[in-house]
Amino acid sequence: MALANRNLVTIDDLSNGEIESLFSLADDMHNAMEKQINLCRGKIMASLFFEPSTRTKLSFEAAMHRLGGSVISVVDVKATSLAKGESIADMARVVGSYADIIVVRHPWEGAARVIADYAGVPVINAGDGGHEHPTQTLCDLYALKKERRTLKGLRIALWGDLKHGRTVHSLTYALARFGAIIHFRSGPGLELPEYVKRKLETEYTGRLERYENISNIIKDSRFPIDAIYITPGSPHQLANIPDVSMQIELDKGVEALYVTRLQMERLSGKADEGLKKEEYPVVDKKLLKGKEFAETLVLHPLPRVDELARDIDADPRSMYFKQAALGVPVRMALIALLLGAKKAPAVEEDRSFIRKTEYTPCHYVYGIKCPNRNCVSHYEKESIKPEFTIVCRRPLILRCVYCEHEVSPPFIASSEWHEGKLINKQYHSASSHWARKIKAENLIVFSSEKDAEVRGFKPSHYAKKRYRISKKEVEL
C-alpha cells in the first residue's frame, strides 16, 4: 500500500485499511527504532506551528530526526511574512519549494486544507483551530488498539470539551468508522457541534441517541451522558426495545475514558457566555471507584489542567503518558509513507460501519458565508472563496468545505432558468419544495432577497413562505 505524495488534512483522508497498515508499520518501527535512521536521509520537513505545542511539535520533529531527515521550523507567526499580510496560500507555495513535507498547526479552521492545496508537497494537519487533529487521533487509536486489540465494539466515553476539542472531532469520526460505541459526556454548554452530530447520523451506520431520549434512563447514574452512539455491530436480544437496549449498554460501563481539557483559548462570543469552569467534569480517584470504570483505560491528549487529577497518575489504568510516547513511532510511520520511503502491507478493510455518502458541490453561491467566524474563508479572501457542498435537501443545508460548519441559505433558484430554458427567472424560499426539486448541479443559493434580485431574479409566490419540517423529513 502506497501513500506517497498524499495529504493528511482530516482523518477521512485515510481509509480504515490504510490506518491499520500504518499501525503495522508503526509496530515495526517501534521495535527497531535505530534501524530507521536512513529512511528519509536528505529529506526536509517544514514544521510550521502557529499555535503553542509541546507533544505534537516535538514528536513530529523527533520522528523526522529518527528517520534521518532534517527539520526547518517556524513557531511564531509574528516572525513570518504572514505578519506583513502575506496569504497562507503564498506562504504554502514558498515553503513547499524549501521542504519535502510540511506539518502545520494553525488557529484558523481549514487553514491546513488551503496549505495542502497550494504547497505542492505532502501536508499534515497538526491541528487547525477547533476543527480536526488527525494525527492525534492516529496516536489515540494506536494506543487503544495496543491495549484492547480491537476497536470494533469498543465502549469508550469522550469527556469534557466536545464543542471546541479538535481531538474529539477527529476521534469521533474514526471510532464510528471502526464500529465503536461512543458515550458523550460534555461540560455544560460544551456538547458536540451540530455538524459533527449530523456527520455521525448520515455517514455512519450506527444510531445517535441524544439526551432527550435517554435522560429518563440515567437519572441516578454516577456518569451522566449527553448522548450515546450505538454501532449496529453490537446487537443484543432486546435491541428492539430502545429503553431496555440503552440501559443494557449503560450497565456495561466503558472500556476507555478519553478526557479533554476546557479549551480556554477558543472560548469567546455569546455562544460561550455563562460557561463555568468549576462545573467542568473532573476525573479522579473517586470517580474511578465506580463499578462502570473498574476496567476502564484513561486517556488524555494532554496538556491537562484541572480536569484530570494527578492522584491517578500511578493507577495502571492511566494511559496518557504512554499514549504521548507512542506519538513518535506513529508519526515516523506516517512521514515515511507520505514521502514514499516505505510501503505498508495492504490490510483487508471492513467498511460495514460506513455509509457510501457523496456530496454534490454547490457551484452557485451568492452572499453565503461560513457561519464559523474562525473559518479560513473569512481571512484568505484574496486566494480562496467560500465553497460548500450540499449535505441535506430538506431542509437545505450546506457544509463549508474548509471547516465543515453548516449553513442554511434562505433563498434558492435554478441555473437552468437564466440559461433561457424557462421563461420565468424566479427565486424561492429554501424551505419550499423547490429545495428538493431543483437538480443539485443547477442549484443557486442566495443569502438575501437583494442578492437574488440584483442578479435579475424575481420572487415567486414561494419566496415569502416558510415551511415547517419535522425531524423525520430531514434527509440527504
Task: Tell me the pLDDT tens digit for each residue of 242-252.
Answer: 444 555 555 66
What is the pLDDT at residue 274? 55
List, for residues 298-324, the tens digit of each pLDDT value.
Answer: 999 988 888 888 999 999 999 999 999
pTM value is: 0.89
**Number of other CB atoms surrounding residue 54 within 10 Å:** 10
Residues 320 and 330 in one domain: no
Using pLDDT thresholds of 50, 70 and 90, give the confidence band for residue 240.
very low
Q: Residue type at 364?
A: Y
Judgement on whether residues 94 and 186 belong to the same structural domain of the protein: no
Residue 380 lies in a domain: yes
Provide the pLDDT confidence category of residue 469 given band limits of 50, 70 and 90: very low
Distance (Å) of CA 292 to CA 157, 295, 376: 11, 8, 42
Who contacts 47 (Cβ-Cβ below 8 Å, separation ≥6)? 57, 60, 61, 71, 72, 73, 74, 103
Q: What is the mean pLDDT of residues 13-30?
A: 95
Local confidence band at 420 (pLDDT 50, 70, 90 cut-offs): low
Give residue 377's pLDDT band: very low, low, confident or very high (50, 70, 90): very high
- Looking at per-residue pLDDT, the higher value among 467 and 48 belongs to 48
Three cell numbers at 320? Answer: 496518557
Domain that holds residue 237: 135-324
Last residue of a domain, one of 290, 306, 338: 338
Q: What is the pLDDT averaged over residues 109-113? A: 97
Note whether residue 402 is domain-resident: yes
143 with 286, same domain? yes
| Domain limit, last residue, from 298, 324, 350 | 324
Q: How does residue 234 score in pLDDT terms, banded at 50, 70 and 90?
A: low
**Could you give the CA distance from residue 75 to residue 51 in angstroms, rounded to a whole number?**
8
- Is 90 exceeded by the pLDDT of residue 115? yes
Indicate whether 467 pLDDT > 70: no
Cα(305)–Cα(84) distance, rounded to whole angstroms? 35
The answer to whether residue 1 is domain-embedded is: no
Question: Are 141 and 81 within one domain?
Answer: no
CATH of the domain at 408: 2.30.30.20
Regarding whether 222 and 112 lie in a shared domain, the answer is: no
Task: Note the pLDDT of residue 218.
Answer: 53
Here the CATH number for the domain that contains residue 314 is 3.40.50.1370
Coil vs helix vs strand at 20: helix
Residue 348 lies in a domain: no
Task: Give yes or no for residue 189 having a pLDDT over 50.
Answer: yes
Confidence band for 344, pLDDT divided at 50, 70 and 90: confident
pLDDT at residue 236 greater than cutoff 50:
no
- DSSP secondary structure letter of residue 74: E
Higher per-residue pLDDT: 470 or 318: 318
Strands 256-259 and 297-299, bridge-based pairing: parallel
pLDDT band of 345, cuts 50, 70, 90: confident
Question: Do 270 and 184 reside in the same domain of the chain?
Answer: yes
Residues 185 and 292 in one domain: yes
**Residue at 213 is within a domain:** yes
With respect to residue 393, please indicate whether it lies within any of the assigned structural domains. yes
Are 377 and 394 found together in one domain? yes
365 with 269, same domain: the answer is no
Residue type, 323: Q
Check whether residue 119 and residue 154 sit in a common domain.
no
Out of 108-117, 150-159, 191-200, 410-419, pick the least confident: 410-419
Same domain, 285 and 367: no
Hey, what's the cell of 307? 480536569
* Domains held by the chain: number: 3
CA distance 334 to 4: 10
For residue 64, pLDDT over 70 is answered with: yes
The arithmetic mean of pLDDT across residues 71-89, rounded, is 77
Neighbours of 259 (CB within 10 A): 22
Lowest mean pLDDT among 1-5, 65-69, 273-277, 387-391: 273-277
Question: Would you say residue 470 has pLDDT above 90?
Answer: no
Q: Does a structural domain hold residue 57?
A: yes
The percent of residues in the chain predicted with pLDDT above 70, rounded, is: 84
Count of CB atoms within 10 A of residue 137's CB? 25
What CA–CA distance (Å, rounded) separates 136 from 167? 6
Amino acid present at 107: P
Q: Are residues 225 and 143 located together in one domain of the fold?
A: yes
Q: Is the pLDDT of residue 233 over 70?
A: no
Mean pLDDT of 187-201: 91
Residue 84 maps to a domain? yes
Confidence of residue 471 (pLDDT cuts 50, 70, 90): very low
